[in-house]
Amino acid sequence: MELDFAPGLEDFREEVRTWLAEHIVGEFAAHRGVGSPTDDTAWDLRVEWERELSAGRWLGLTWPEEFGGRGLGLAEEIVFEYEYARAAAPARVNTQALELLGPTLLACGTHEQKSRFLPKILKVEEMWGQGFSEPGAGSDLADVRTRAVLDDGGVWHIDGQKIWTTFGHHADWLYVLCRTNPDVALRHRGLSLLLVDARQDGVEIRPIENINRSTEFSECFFNDARSTADLTVGEIDGGWSVVMTTLGLERGSALMPVQLGMERELSSIIDIARRNGSLDDPDIRQRLVDAYIGTKLMRSTNLRVVADLLNEDSPDPGAATAAAAMTTKLFASTQHQKMGELAMDILGFAGLFETGDPLDDVSTVQKLFLSSRAETIYGGTSEIQRNIAAERVLGLPR
């Protein structure tokens, strides 16, 4: 199975392929596929690559032209993401802004907010981090305790702590969920989403080194940090609906790149098994077959989602996409963990030692194995995802 596009989209697809082939050269080619939305490896090079994409006008394809986008349709965006993943281009660095905050501002922000922030995002002049989770409020976002008080001059005073802020120490700005009305009975009705300058004195950001020695996360401390009323996204105390918009984007936006990335990883794992003789082991062969079947199941699901999104006659493409995103996230996270365990078993004793080369086979497999352990937790724990799938997709009782 493969993606088939209308004739007009084939021309666009060829344009994307040609541009990527002409620009993924030199150091960019040496770092194909490096990094991810949760891995800051080769950060400076990836920032340079993102600015290359910006110069070619490949960022914000569907965003309105008045804010620096190209005003193209969803079909063109799907084509670009598919070809980008196939080319194994370096991972983009400002995904928090490009995939989450930007679309949220387009849906819920004021014209002034869009004009101020969207062009700088597309020019890679400002990086963003997400301030949602807290030490006592991870999956239960309605329990956030970071507090913001609005004074008579229209200035927010923010106090509290956030954690697991992806690439927070690289951020120039944060979009922060705060409790702005502690007196309401329903917790989610007293929240607001604020845009906060991360470089001010009232904000302290501390990187957290993970098991891979990557600083993908940070914890953020707010001590009378300031923002202004005009930097509230949506209504004051109405931040819950805005956040639900953001989380809907987060859970449904990256199915195809994940699947194509896993296909590339599996191909490399099979090559390693051929070279070191592990392919002669019948148990290893069976597990490789199972992994291969898993990636093909993901591909079939992704193709159905894309077809549904592009089908104007589909009765409810949004619901189908949300359901597929949820089930694919569940499947992919456990499948990726199994793939990491398989790859380590194929390496054998060689997988126990560091090589010093972050791009060689051993280091790549070690990173796959270690980083995949968290995939059943971040982006919505598997337990929470199963509850949501049961109640909202299957209609089962609570």
Catalytic residues, by residue number, are 250
Dist. CA 168–CA 217, nearest whole Å: 6
CB 80 within 8 A of CB 61: yes
Sign of torsion over alpha carbons 223, 224, 227, 232: positive
Dist. CA 260–CA 336, nearest whole Å: 12
Place of tokens 């099979």: 270
Q: Give Cα 372 distance to the centre of its chain.
A: 15
CB 362 within 8 A of CB 368: no
Dist. CA 108–CA 391, nearest whole Å: 27
For residue 214, which amino acid is it? S
CB 325 within 8 A of CB 255: yes
Dist. CA 290–CA 270, nearest whole Å: 12
Main-chain dihedrals φ then ψ at residue 236, nearest 5 degrees: -65, 135
**Rg of the chain in Å (alpha carbons):** 22
CB 57 within 8 A of CB 91: no
Pairing relationship of beta strands 173-179 and 128-131 according to DSSP bridges: parallel
Dist. CA 72–CA 13, nearest whole Å: 13
Q: Give Cα 3 distance to the centre of its chain.
A: 23
- Tell me if residue 128 falls in helix, strand or coil: strand
Residues present in the chain in total: 398
CA distances from 47 to 93, 94, 170 (A): 6, 8, 11
Kindly provide the residue ranges of all beta strands, DSSP E only, lying in the chain, ordered along the sequence: 128-131, 147-150, 155-162, 173-179, 191-197, 203-208, 217-228, 232-233
